[in-house]
Structure 1
Amino acid sequence: MLRSLTQADKIKDYLDTNHPKSVIIVGAGTIGLELAETFKKIGMDVTIVEQSNHIAAPFDSEITDVIKQHLTEQGVHLLLNQTITSITNHGHTVKYADGSSHNPDMIFLGTGVQPNSELAKQAGIQVTDDGHITVNDRFATSMPDIYAIGDVIQTTSLIDHEPINSLLSSAANRQGHLLADILNGEPFCYNGFIGVGATKIFDLTASFVGYTEQALVQKGVTNYKTVFITPYDHAYFYPNAERVNFKLIFEDGTGKILGGQAVGRRGIDKRISQLSVAVTGNLSVYDLPALEIPYSPPYSSTRDVLNIAGYVAINQLTNKLHTIKISDIPMEDYRNAIFLDIREKDKKLTGTINPTIHIPLSELRDRLKEIPTNKKVYITFRKGLGPYNASRILAGNGINATVIEE
């Protein structure tokens, strides 16, 4: 386990002394993925075991799909939907629920941590069911003259003003600074927790701010929309331009920004930092197109990532782009509707729906007659601005199409 610098030193000493050739990392959270890179770079065979199909929490599937592919390309073995039933032989034999087994030289447990609030409980301080210490907007606990900050507290979300657990060292550091001012008599208050993080996974950077779609679903929130785009990280005509995978989550109706996340090779933390400022300033998606973001071909585009995300989100809110979640498609439509695949011929099929018709976006205007006008038309899952462009082409020719979100 890795929870302190002392434990990190012990792990390094073990590596230097025993020279293990293989390691199993139990848990596919961000700590486990970061360590996978470390172990891989010193020549170890790395296997990540995760009992669910999801990796890199708190990121949503649009982001984790990119991370999964990259891990595989780097030679990391992913055992998902796999449960360990026993670890024996001093950690050198691992057995799984499906009857298979593994004989690693080393096992690393990265299954998460719990708040260390036992002392607070013993003192009679109010804690939540999951062990977090409840505090007010000046970090005061339920007991006079006792304060708490950091990962151990439950505070209030700056986004929706509901209770939320504080996470990450950056927030704890700022809370400590603010609490020092409060204890020195300053009339300051904590505005609330947003949640911003970044992680490096081999050649990729992944970053998030605010709520993920998973978190909203767990909270029972349904009045939200999402945008997923893949613009270039800088001007497309400048050498080495690569795609940014960017997801924006916002409130239906108002356009209030609820969260965002991104993954790519360059400029990821920059875009999420910009979005974090927008959340802090209570901006909505209607404000994003107007953001003045520094432009120079090596660093950005004339309409940068947040600008484009804002345009697409506004199109959704104003019904210029109709979308539907795959779970909401009526069963009869699977039998009767047209499912249009607009990927170019050199691109792999994406999504889980088998298309009825395949017309590349570049050929769509010339092949409109192939699309029946007496049936519903769905545009199957494809990343980027393609689905939006296709829907506008079809709308301009009297065909109303709905883009499927997966």
Structure 2
Amino acid sequence: MAAPLEGIRIIDMTTVMMGPFATQILGDLGADIVKVEAPGGDSMRAVGPARHEGMGPLFLNANRNKRSIVLDLKRPGGRDILLRLVSGADVFVFNARPKAMARLGLSYEEVARAAPGIIYAGAYGFGEGGPYAGRPAYDDLIQGLSAVPSLAMRASGTDDPLYAPVVLADRVVGQSLAYTILAALIHRMRTGEGQAIEVPMFETIAQFVLGDHMGGRTFDPPEGEMGYARLLAKYRRPYATSDGHICVVVYTDRHWRAFFELIGRRAAFEDDPRLADMATRTRHIDALYALVAEELKQRTTAEWLELLEKADIPAMPLHTPESLLKDPHLAAVNFFRTVEHPTEGRLVSMRLPARWSSAARAEDLPAPPLGAHTREILREAGFADGEIDHWLGSGAAVETSAA
């Protein structure tokens, strides 16, 4: 079976997490991802425990189904090689700031001259039309600027703003970058037109956050305060049981009725005006969740999971990262796989969550050592062996010992 994106070639000049996560999604779907790295390699290669230098876990988990070529774009010939690669590709994706791309001679106009019809996809901190354009951006900065830590502070009732302990902005924007590239490819298929597309982090995450929390400011003039009360409730958290914690969502009319029956207080449900409907419950959600929290302390986690399942109230155990690896559902759907990496040995890998009934990548490529495919990719671009030796000798291209 052919993978959905088989035959699509993407020249990937992204680093860290946002861009690599996007291109791994596209690679998992069958695109040929040529990862262009500077001589020092993607900085994520150095993060976390590793068996060999440059092959850390964050890199391994965001760069499968890619091939690595090392080019020094600051040396004579490096840019020419890159443009040669792009001329045979469908997409050129990067996360350097536009001014840096222009300094390298890689603006959209310059790239499009070498590769008419190219999808030129840039993902960076801020859109070019605003005062923040050109500023550096990292996940923490974008989370803070988009109010994620402030919302966490409001929800916890403390004075301590906290970042989400995942690279939330990078991964959400990475997914946005992936689907935007796919939309541009469909547009080109229909019209024959390539184009430059911009996927800014701040605007993407601002929309992500405000979609939940615009509240009354959705209206002009405003019809109330900002914030979705249920998400900001102090007791919207995993609940303590007598021996641990449990995750429970008591949400619909049916859920609340069933919960009050479960705790032997059916009459209280009928008589409490705070439970009349969803709008009323939302206004009183913190007090209602406090009631749930108090009741759940009375039994063990196992007892509650059994009772709540019988009552058809959504409930799940609270995992740690360690216990998540042993989750029975993930095991049953073969989410985790043990794979043999050619240089790193046995690795635990996660598959693409989506499944396809009639299209799939036949075999995953392991995350590549730095420059492992330089010579191979240059040959595919039409360079003769003598030219390749010249570029390798000049330092414009680099082939590592791991190749």
TM category, shorter = under 0.3
Structure number with higher relative contact order (C-alpha < 8 Å, ≥ 6 residues apart): 2
TM-score, normalisation: structure 2: 0.24
More strand by share: 1
Instruction: Work out which of the two has the higher radius of gyration on C-alpha atoms and give 1 or 2.
Output: 2
More helix by share: 2
TM-score, normalisation: structure 1: 0.24
